[in-house]
Chain A
Amino acid sequence: MLAVPLAGAIAFAAHLAVYKNETPMEARTYTNFLATFLIVSILIAVGQHRWRRLRVAVWRMRPLFTAAVLLLCAWELITAGWHWLPLPYFPSPAAVLQSMISDRALLFDSTWHSLVLLLAGYVLGALAAFVSGVCIGWSNSARYWGMPLLKVIGPVPATAWIPLAMVVSPSATISAAALIALAVWFPVTMLTSSGISNTRASYLDVARTLGANQRYLIFRVAIPAALPSIFVGLFMGLGASFLTLVVAESVGVKSGLGWYVSWAQGWAEYGKVFAALIIMAAFFSTIMTLLFKLRDRVLVWQKGMIKW
């Protein structure tokens, strides 16, 4: 019941102990953050006796929050407290938070650029892959010509094309979007075509005896039947797109979170590096969560059948 406020108090005390001898200028924000955390956790711990719904809402999160705040505390002790890790490579959480706030305009801008580039590449690649995957999965001649191409081009990591892409394309952003699209295209095409060609023959037989034409068989039988497999491809493609995005941004494109990380590293501002990494983690996992939500919506008919 009191685990979260207790952990918050420990972290707060450790933080004050670490900074009591120094001028805590740059640590001020972090002090406020921990104080707020402590007060809110105490309020919730008291309030949950009164409001059942609050208790239900926070119950499952308690161990996670306790662990998270203790981890922050350990990080602070190891870095700012005992100086076990070399500076400037391992700044304290206070320094990271300070960098995040002081550089928020550029960080926001970088996140925005990354988002636009990622979405442009991902949507383009996924749409192209959907079309090519359905063709390869359904038609024998598309399979004959498409499969060798897929098998030869597909396994090459999209990032390997970077040198070529920089020469061919007039704009680094366009070539980065194309590379992300390529990275997404391979897994989505592969899984779409295998989903389509593995459509149960009996579904197609039934549909034909119900009077289905070719269009019905493709759009109303094969594609719905392939959707679970298509989503596996979309998830794999999303992972590949993150990787390609970060690499492309750090070597070619002059904006985005990947660029920001290598730029901050060039100035040895590791507080900013960590800040950007934290934002990147939140950013990517949000997009991943959105794809899961979309999956749950589209594949609602599988509810209770699948576990992933």
Chain B
Amino acid sequence: MVTTNIAVGSALRVHEVHKSFAVPDAPGTTRLALDGISFSIAAGELVSLVGPSGCGKSTLLRLIAGLDFPDAGELLVGEEKILGPSAARGLVFQDPNLFPWLTVRRNIEAGLVARGVLEAQRHEVSDFMRLVGLEAFANSYPHHLSGGMSQRVALARALINHPKVLLLDEPLGALDAFTRMRMQDEVLRLWENRRTTMLLVTHDIDEAIYMSDRILVMTPAPGRVDRKIDIDLLRPRDRTSEPFLRLRSQILEHLHFAGTAADVSA
């Protein structure tokens, strides 16, 4: 069984991270994308990162994934410094990015093939396909799948490596409202079974409140973590309950205020 083979998540620590990019239109100048980001996530925690577009959420996620490097500061998983991409840190994008030339089964196997452990762990492939409810589509090619199904394959593909940290970059952003709510429950189910540390980037405040233990609110230009809000509501959460709505308006108000301030300063 998949659930018995748990790779419990690791803690994640981000310390004083700075990152700037060259501005393509004006050579020689740079734009500060992340300005001294610091936070830590305990092992097995589910934390959301919310903020308006352009606040550096995805940049931060790429740094944690090891696909890009900070100008200054430190990123640690457990006690280890992040020096490059690793199968221990799974990443799921908004676009599922399934390999179109591989069937569903082969897409899910990709991580095992890449690490050269397919023979040893082949038995898990079926478990993971069952976990995300896609056994019937094992031999289909990705372009036959709906958006929700594709994203489930992408989740299974990331999870089969038993990552210590799962990074989710607006994974449900492209789905319709109903599929999206169903998928939120599915991701929560996966998380509750496996206790992988999860960092979820989203611009959907409801999604963040519904799913996470904690919300980090980011503000743009330059990107900063502006507030950290603990969500103490019991799961499953009621999206229409009074405390839920109170949190929602609190965050919205905050972001609105922060948004205007940023516009003035820019």
User: What is A's interface to B at a CB cutoff of 8 Å?
Assistant: 200, 202-203, 205-213, 216, 220-221, 224-225, 227, 300-305
**B113 contact set on A, CB distance < 8 A:** 216, 220
Mark out the residues of chain B between 205 and 245 whose CB falls within 8 Å of any chain A CB in the assembled complex: none
- Looking at B90, B91, B110, B114, the one whose CB has the most chain A CB atoms below 10 A away is B114
From known contacts A210-B110, A305-B143, infer whether A202 and B115 are also in contact, taking CB-CB under 8 Å: no
A203 close to B111 (CB less than 8 A): no
A208 close to B67 (CB less than 8 A): yes
B87 close to A224 (CB less than 8 A): no
Nearest chain B CB to A60's CB is how many angstroms away? Answer: 28
Q: Which residue of A lies closest to B62 (CB)?
A: A205
Q: Which residue of B lies closest to A208 (CB)?
A: B85
B100 close to A301 (CB less than 8 A): yes
A216 close to B114 (CB less than 8 A): yes
**B141 contact set on A, CB distance < 8 A:** 300-301, 303
A211 close to B115 (CB less than 8 A): yes
Known: A209-B89, A224-B99. 7 other contacts (CB 8 A): A202-B93, A205-B62, A209-B65, A211-B87, A225-B101, A302-B143, A303-B141
- Looking at A209, A224, A227, the one whose CB has the most chain B CB atoms below 10 A away is A209
Interface SS majority for chain A: helix
Q: Which listed residue, A205, A207, A303, touches B114 by the CB 8 Å rule? A: A207
Complex formed: what's the CA distance from A300 to B142 in Å?
A: 12
Nearest chain A CB to B150's CB is how many angstroms away? Answer: 13
**Contact string, B80-91, partner A, CB cutoff 8 A, digits 1/0?**
000001110111
A210 close to B158 (CB less than 8 A): yes
From known contacts A210-B87, A216-B114, infer whether A227 and B143 are also in contact, taking CB-CB under 8 Å: no
**B90 contact set on A, CB distance < 8 A:** 209-210
From known contacts A211-B115, A304-B143, infer whether A206 and B97 are also in contact, taking CB-CB under 8 Å: yes
Nearest chain B CB to A150's CB is how many angstroms away? Answer: 26
Complex formed: what's the CA distance from A207 to B112 in Å?
A: 11
Complex formed: what's the CA distance from A294 to B202 in Å?
A: 44
Complex formed: what's the CA distance from A246 to B32 in Å?
A: 62
Complex formed: what's the CA distance from A216 to B112 in Å?
A: 11
B101 close to A210 (CB less than 8 A): no
A206 close to B100 (CB less than 8 A): no
A202 close to B97 (CB less than 8 A): yes
* B132: interface (CB < 8 Å): no
* B48: interface (CB < 8 Å): no
Nearest chain A CB to B203's CB is how many angstroms away? Answer: 19
**A213 contact set on B, CB distance < 8 A:** 114
Nearest chain B CB to A303's CB is how many angstroms away? Answer: 8
From known contacts A209-B67, A210-B87, infer whether A301 and B102 are also in contact, taking CB-CB under 8 Å: yes
From known contacts A216-B113, A220-B113, infer whether A209 and B85 are also in contact, taking CB-CB under 8 Å: yes
A210 close to B161 (CB less than 8 A): yes
**A216 contact set on B, CB distance < 8 A:** 113-114
Complex formed: what's the CA distance from A220 to B115 in Å?
A: 13
Nearest chain A CB to B198's CB is how many angstroms away? Answer: 14
Q: Which residue of B lies closest to A216 (CB)?
A: B114
Q: Which residue of A lies closest to B89 (CB)?
A: A209
B95 close to A203 (CB less than 8 A): no
**B100 contact set on A, CB distance < 8 A:** 301-302
Q: Which residue of A lies closest to B95 (CB)?
A: A202
- Looking at A220, A225, A302, the one whose CB has the most chain B CB atoms below 10 A away is A220
**A200 contact set on B, CB distance < 8 A:** 97
**B195 contact set on A, CB distance < 8 A:** none
Nearest chain B CB to A301's CB is how many angstroms away? Answer: 5
11 contacts between A and B (CB under 8 A): A209-B67, A209-B90, A210-B161, A211-B87, A211-B161, A213-B114, A216-B113, A220-B114, A221-B99, A225-B101, A300-B141
A207 close to B110 (CB less than 8 A): yes
**Contact string, B44-83, partner A, CB cutoff 8 A, digits 1/0?**
0000000000000000001001110000000000000000
Q: Which listed residue, B67, B86, B99, B157, touches A205 by the CB 8 Å rule? A: B67
A210 close to B157 (CB less than 8 A): yes
Complex formed: what's the CA distance from A225 to B97 in Å?
A: 12
Complex formed: what's the CA distance from A200 to B99 in Å?
A: 10
Complex formed: what's the CA distance from A203 to B85 in Å?
A: 14
Q: Which residue of A lies closest to B91 (CB)?
A: A209
Q: Which residue of A lies closest to B68 (CB)?
A: A205
**A210 contact set on B, CB distance < 8 A:** 87, 90, 110-111, 114-115, 157-158, 161
